[in-house]
Chains A and B, each alone.
Chain A
């Protein structure tokens, strides 16, 4: 039988289109437990490749014949070996090109909405890592918010759309992934904005992103308004776009809220987090659509693959917005926190410009789930 090769883009389509898929993940058990390809209708079997060196006969009965089977490993090599063994045993299977490494890097742009006068808002979904970036387009100009490090994806997309990138924002100094923001700005001549309170240690020039900053995109003047919303970091800033969308960064997610501890100051910042979520956001229109910088589980995404929810609905449904007692809230976001993201301290150093790892090292740092939230 033939061995097929799938790209991360093809797997992403299966996730977004809610298709069925059987994944044979041949990484070791710890790696699989920590992080895998999530799909609404995916089934899994995790058998490390090193347990299959003597043959695949034992697992054949566990693999469906009426469903597509995708073999996945860390980088590709082991999945090719196992896929070939399965092929020799008469099964038609595929492997994931580049393995989890390429899955972690893949970005799928999805349109969130049309804006006034032909404007558009796109969400770039990094399925493997749960990162969400945004591009606002209006009459020849674009603004990008929370770009991940694959800068080509954004600059090529802007080219396709025939727009010039004018403004690049980071809502905060990221700890879970490496920002592409300042590199995009440097390559395109755009202005790069970062909240000054998060930037005290950065070694590059930036334009301060502060409360009340207002930027107009394109001739139709799509409004991008900054709203100071600390708590995940001391500088965390949200955006209201076109009076319709609230970009919350890592403060508020669909089914969880931001964690205050990634810069080592949970106790100090928990009060800010409370203030942002229970006072500042409460003053905003409930019809704003929340667009976060992350999702944690695939169930947070909508039918069309976007991750977006009405603010009013989150006030009703998001557990983190419904902890009346302040002491209990404090405990929830400072005790029993999930493990911190892989290499988060190094990632912060990269985003400050203090260290400049090569591409492979950056990939290694970003391996694993993002873990920016408290559920």
Chain B
């Protein structure tokens, strides 16, 4: 997977992870992939729901040592 951009949103609380993810998404092109690192567990459900509503695709998500990783392809 080619990662176009990485956003480190660790330590941020809701709603900032999504606000920042949205802003980062606005800077990449359709088909490109944004990697997002988070620690707010609320994002576990909110990122996929937000991506779906915006027409983006979560290609992969994983948790490593309490950090959530999302790989979102811009729609």
Contacts and interface: CB of A to CB of B under 8 A. Distances in A.
A28 B45 CA distance: 8
A29 B52 CA distance: 12
- Where chain A touches its partner, the secondary structure class is helix
A29 B19 CA distance: 18
A49 B15 CA distance: 8
Contact of B49 (A48, A78, A364): A48
A49 B18 contact: yes
A375 B24 CA distance: 47
A106 to B, nearest CB: 20
Contacts of B22: 50, 53
Interface string B17-28: 011001000000
Interface in B1-43: 13-16, 18-19, 22, 41-42
A73 interface: yes
Contacts of B16: 77
Interface residues of A, number: 16
Interface string A49-71: 11101000000000000000000
A54 to B, nearest CB: 9
Given A77-B15, A78-B14, A78-B15, A31 B45 contact: yes
A217 interface: no
Contacts of B18: 49-50, 53
A153 interface: no
Interface in A12-53: 28-31, 48-51, 53
Nearest to B12: A77
